[in-house]
Chains A and B, each alone.
Chain A
Amino acid sequence: MGLIENLKSYSEGVQISTEKKELFTSFMSKGFPTTKDEEWKYTSLKKIVTKDYNIENTGEIIDSSTVEKYSLGFDNRIIFSDGKLIGSPNIKGVSVNGFSNFGSNTTDSILQLNKALAQNGFTISVDKNTVLESPIEILFFSTTENNFSQYRNLISVGDNTEVKFVERIQALNDSTSMVNNFTQINCAKNTKVEYNKIQNNTPESRLIDTVNVYQEQDSTCEINTLIFGGSFTRNNLNFEQNGSNCESNMNGISILDDNQLADNHTFVDHKSAHCRSNEMYKGVYLGHSKGVFNGKIMVRPDAQKIDAFQSNNNLLLSDNSTIDSKPQLEIYADDVKCSHGCTIGQLDENALFYMRSRGIGIEEAKAVLTYAFASEAIENISVEEVKLLAQKLLAHKLNVDLDFSL
């Protein structure tokens, strides 16, 4: 059958609004993107969508020890099991709700599908003038085998507010489950938002994840994407700067092995003057893994005094791994500082000799240098628990023995 057929028969059995029906029809007429689509040129969904999926969530109850296993132990947790909200924190100045049916105009077929079928997700509003010290942790668990889920989330952050998030999507079985996750973040004036994505799902899981960030003046938004697990990961991060003095930051690491694929697509739309964007993506590819990076920076005609920095540095550690990296700059203003760099590198020979001369064997030295290379992209994460987890996962995946108590 395949996913399109699964979706079709599912849609025939559910009652949805006319608007959603239209979106669904629009999706069905286009289908999933193919490699003919410029945005999907290097990433094929073909193998993934020819499989059969369960569209309906029919999950099991999960126990607290399972939650603790994947949680970083924060006080404020939003927990979903098969889309059902099973835990929601009480935080002063924050309202946390389940799914809300918010709209968005999109021609992207995957987002149309999301809007048409999603019935799960969270809605968070943070009041003005609120500073949350402890992050809000969001855990999406799925227990249904071969499940295809749509999550749809909205975060609205009031003026002068500071808040951090940690998100994890976790399947609790080894089936080929897939998630289409969409999150919209509205950053009001003078806000500071940090969103951390821990993507360390089961070996057969697939993820298509989109975040749209809308920034007002004087706001800073940072998204950190940490990809260790999952067989297929596509991230779309879209920032729209709608006021002066905005800053959009993105850090990402992909540490891939076997047949894993990870594709990071980023887009910063500089619409206002005196704004900044910084992107640092690092990839380490082992086995038959494949990486894709596409970083688009658009500077609109009135957006003067823009500082846009982008880097994507990669290490291919096996003959069978590949990376396609593409910066895409569209600059229509003249007073703009824009730098981008993409490297596909080898380990630094001088550093290797330096380490060997200190008694560190060549294999260990290579692993440590690889760790050092990748860790630069996680150094700026302000949530210590996330940073430490990332360091540990990195060390574990690269087989280096580092002492994090030092």
Chain B
Amino acid sequence: MLQIKDLKAGIEDNQILKGINLEVKAGEIHAIMGPNGSGKSTLSAVIAGNEDYEVEGGNITFNGKDLLELDPEERAHNGVFLSFQYPVEIPGISVSNFIKTSITEKRKAQGLEPILTKDLLKMMREKMELLSIKQGYLSRNMNEGFSGGEKKRNEIFQMAMLEPKLAILDETDSGLDIDALRIVANGVNKLRSEDNATVIITHYQRLLDYIVPDFVHVLYNGRIVKSGGAELAHELEEKGYDWVTKEEDKKWA
């Protein structure tokens, strides 16, 4: 589904991603861990098409398409979804209208008629139930005044509504209390299928207790320096990043 080859990207003169290689197949769950500032959010931003970052080398293909050639909205239409580490507040536009607009735009790009309001409301109610979201939330302004946890839950709600093929969850677990974590994890698990894939960026093992990854990668200094199975996350939790990063530092010293 997603192939990233030797991806190099940065901002101005600062190279942040220094050659990333990653392959994600349909049905898989990947976890990316790594110390602060290692480039995890940059990688997700580049995949989603944030033009602040300049791609200096390498390529990304998504279901056979050259992803780097597409605008952010076209990537979304093709099934890429990014749950933001820091979701943006948009005062003046309600959650329901925001979601309606994004679904309408996606359907338009696919040559489909706009969704009927009653179908949209039905779908929203289902997904709200799945994520234990309270009534009244739909008419609030997008992320405005939301608590950290509410913002994250709103990201997963949008994911549930947009049904992406590839979802990248950038620290969706941080800011969630233990109940919310379970609800969100449960939601992600229910939305899993053979046709979609999930990349989870996290600092904590606890989310991975609920969503068990097929692969775990350690990103450090703009490179994936170690990959393994679910057990790698446990090992990192025990030993910290040092045992991986020290070796890496030696290599580039």
Contacts and interface: CB of A to CB of B under 8 A. Distances in A.
B72 A353 contact: yes
Among A348, A358, A405, residue most surrounded by chain B Cβ atoms (within 10 Å) = A358
Interface residues of B, number: 40
B105 A360 contact: yes
A193 B85 CA distance: 45
Nearest to A361: B73
A373 interface: yes
Contacts of A354: 84, 87-88, 90
A362 interface: yes
Contact of B102 (A360, A374, A375): A360
B71 interface: yes
Contacts of A107: none
Nearest to A374: B92
Given A374-B92, A406-B117, A401 B101 contact: yes
A355 B166 CA distance: 17
Q: Is the interface of A mostly helix, strand, loop or mixed?
A: helix
B205 to A, nearest CB: 28
Interface string A106-150: 000000000000000000000000000000000000000000000
A362 to B, nearest CB: 7
A355 B91 CA distance: 13
A344 interface: no
Interface residues of A, number: 30
B215 to A, nearest CB: 24
B187 interface: no
Contacts, number: 95
Main secondary structure of the interface of B (DSSP, over half): helix
A351 to B, nearest CB: 5
A356 B73 contact: yes
Interface string A177-210: 0000000000000000000000000000000000
Contacts of B147: none
A349 B45 CA distance: 14
Contacts of B75: 357
Contacts of A261: none
Interface in A350-379: 350-351, 353-362, 364-365, 368-369, 371-376, 379
Nearest to A370: B92
Contacts of B92: 371-376, 379
Interface of B: 48-52, 71-73, 75-77, 81-82, 84, 87-94, 96-98, 100-106, 109, 117, 120-121, 138-139, 158, 162
Interface of A: 348-351, 353-362, 364-365, 368-369, 371-376, 379, 401-403, 405-406
Given A357-B50, A368-B93, 10 more contacts: A349-B52, A354-B87, A357-B49, A360-B105, A362-B71, A371-B93, A376-B92, A402-B101, A406-B94, A406-B100
5 contacts: A350-B88, A353-B50, A353-B51, A359-B162, A402-B101
Instruction: Report, nearest first, the 9 A-B pairs whose CB atoms are least far apart.
Output: A372-B92, A359-B76, A356-B72, A354-B88, A358-B102, A375-B92, A359-B106, A406-B96, A372-B93
